[in-house]
Amino acid sequence: MERRPRLFVVSGPAGVGKGTLVTKVRELRPDLGLTVSATTRSPRPGEVDGVSYHFLSDEEFTRRVEAGEFLEWAQVHDHRYGTLRSEVDRCLAAGKSVVLEIDVQGGGNVKRIYPDAVRVFIEPPSWDVLVGRLRGRGTEDEASFKLRLEDARQELDLAPTYDVRIVNDDLQTAVRQLADTFESYERYGGTSNNGNH
Ligand code: 5GP
């Protein structure tokens, strides 16, 4: 069966490894469109403007909100993040599926605008593993680490509202499950475990 381009949302708490997962799936599927979000937070070491994010000042972010440039945006942790309409349109116009790696608020907003969007939630094997990964990442100061943990609890509560849930325990397994999920929705409109095959 032909692949039909779909809009995918991938969410999950900070530290769960969703960025790595999406990057690995893209290596298998270079045809997948990945949008670059805008944010008001500062770049972490190694992050490149226009590649990791469009890093915007507060004023510039507000200007773009007012100009209607965002498909969705949300306050996540202590900064604003948003998906630019132009990024999504660019991919869809090229006939590519789009993967939005966004938080649960954004996931809810996208579902309202695109009811056809498929939402995938990435879960940690356990709470302790998540705490360990987030600490090990070492990119956060203590206050920001605590905030991310509090937010993680709230994000995990919303996992049941997602279409598909994947536990990121063994990375290779999770990569395959995410790639299979994309493929199943593109080809068959669903996965074998939700009865849509
Ligand atoms: P980080 O600061 O660790 O890169 O990202 C923090 C959170 O912001 C993650 O949960 C990520 O999914 C979310 N995020 C990144 N881009 C967007 C976006 O465009 N919209 C929304 N709603 N959330 C985003």
Amino acid identity of residue 116, one-letter, is D
Question: What distance in angstroms lies between residue 172's CA and the mean position of ligand 1's atoms?
Answer: 23
Question: What distance in angstroms lies between residue 186's CA and the mean position of ligand 1's atoms?
Answer: 24
Best residue among 35, 37, 147, 153 to mutate for probing ligand 1's pocket (most ligand atoms within 8 Å of CB) is: 37
CA nearest ligand 1 atom 17, residue: 102
Cα(43)–Cα(19) distance, integer angstroms = 15
**pLDDT tens column, 129-175:** 999 988 887 767 888 888 889 999 999 999 999 999 999 999 999 99
**pLDDT tens column, 84-112:** 999 898 898 899 999 999 999 999 999 99
Helices (H), the chain: 18-28, 58-66, 85-93, 104-113, 127-137, 142-157, 171-188
**Mean pLDDT (whole number) for 75-79:** 90
CA nearest ligand 1 atom 19, residue: 82
| Band of residue 18 on the pLDDT scale cut at 50, 70, 90 | very high
Percentage of the chain exceeding pLDDT 90: 78
The answer to whether the beta carbons of residues 179 and 28 sit under 8 Å apart is yes
pTM of the model: 0.91
Residue 197 has pLDDT above 80, yes or no: no
